[in-house]
Structure 1
């Protein structure tokens, strides 16, 4: 008969599994500091030796790392999807910029559909709360906070899709965006008319999600990223025109 005796799982294995699931599900993020050993053992209800054994296992697998005089952290390397050389290549060519936007359009359209169907009520409350934060930041002259919250809003939709592969892939892509690898989001928010349009587009996405209208949520995301692509292309063209105009002006001044 194909039956075997059930082996009791070591306590340290249970601890390691709980922590790795928190990392897999995106609750614990790369670079995030964990509680102290004493606090963590109390929260988990296990002895320090069992906790240390679990931590050693997670460190050996590259999920956790220690920093001198700082404590225990989720490994930052978990967010490094692309090698540095490829990241630099992305930053150097417009082709990558517009391919990135197309990639986001496809993936975030899927994420929005899934979020409308599978997201919990709490997920939708988080998305709505992020929109309210964007609306508050919209009143400020500087676009920096609104641009930051833009990424938070989109990531909350990806998180609500409840697909861990999509979650980690898109989180890595947004990390590159935050670093300015593809384009400077703050520049997108500098023109008041563009800021108004972007906020209205985020409202449309949120409205569809709150209604759990999966098709409209995808359409709203795609329309938003089409606008981003067009605006960015126009901005790049305007920058090139300005360069030409300055050369022409300097040449006429030196005659």
Structure 2
């Protein structure tokens, strides 16, 4: 008979598995500090030696890192998604910008459709709460706040889709966006008309999600990112035209 005696599980193994799942599901995020040893051991209901054993194993796996005098942190595992050389290429070629937007349009459209179908009521409450903050920031006219909340809104939808591969992939992409690798998000929030349109587009996405209208949510995301693509294309064209105009002006002034 193919049966074996059940072996009791080591407490350290149970701790490892729990922390692994929290990282996998995106609940513990890269760079996040774990509670102090005594507090974490109490939360987990294990002894400090068992916790130390689990932490050591997770450090060996590259999921946790120790910073002397600062504590234990979730490793910056997303940074390894792209090499430094590739990131530099992304930052210096417009082709990468528009491929990035096309990639987001496809993946986020799918994520929104999944979120409408698979997201819990609490997931959708998170999305709605972030949208409310976006609306408030729009009234204050702070481009930096709106740009930050824009990223949080889209990531909340991806989290609500409950696909861990998509979640970690898109977090890596948004980290590059946050660092200005693809474009400065604040560009999109500087003009009053553009800011109003962006808020309306996010409202349409949120409304479809709250109604659990999957196809509607996907279409709203696709319309939004198509608009972003056009606005950034216009911005790049305007910058190029301005550089040419400056050369003409310099040439004209030089005739004197």
TM exceeding 0.5: yes
Name the counterpart of 1:212: 212
Question: Is 1:12 equivalent to 2:42 in the alignment?
Answer: no
Name the counterpart of 1:77: 77
Name the counterpart of 1:125: 125
| Aligned mates of 2:80, 2:229 — CA distance in 1 | 25
Contact 2:124/2:160 (CA < 8 Å) preserved in 1?
Answer: yes
Contact 2:78/2:171 (CA < 8 Å) preserved in 1?
Answer: no
Secondary structure at the counterpart of residue 81 of structure 2: coil
Secondary structure at the counterpart of residue 139 of structure 1: helix
Question: Is 1:107 equivalent to 2:120 in the alignment?
Answer: no
Name the counterpart of 1:187: 187
| Aligned mates of 2:93, 2:56 — CA distance in 1 | 42
The Cα of 1:142 is off from its aligned counterpart by 2.8
| Aligned mates of 2:78, 2:195 — CA distance in 1 | 33
| Aligned mates of 2:11, 2:56 — CA distance in 1 | 14
| Aligned mates of 1:41, 1:230 — CA distance in 2 | 52
Unmatched tracts of structure 1, length 5 or more: none
Normalising by structure 2, what TM-score? 0.98
Normalising by structure 1, what TM-score? 0.99
Name the counterpart of 1:68: 68
Name the counterpart of 1:134: 134
| Aligned mates of 1:238, 1:101 — CA distance in 2 | 19
The Cα of 1:165 is off from its aligned counterpart by 0.3
Secondary structure at the counterpart of residue 4 of structure 1: coil
Name the counterpart of 2:31: 31
Deviations 1:83-115 (A, max 9, x none): 111001101100100000000000000100000
Deviations 1:22-64 (A, max 9, x none): 0000000000000000000011110001000000000000000
Secondary structure at the counterpart of residue 80 of structure 1: helix
| Aligned mates of 2:111, 2:153 — CA distance in 1 | 12
Secondary structure at the counterpart of residue 72 of structure 2: strand
Contact 1:30/1:75 (CA < 8 Å) preserved in 2?
Answer: yes
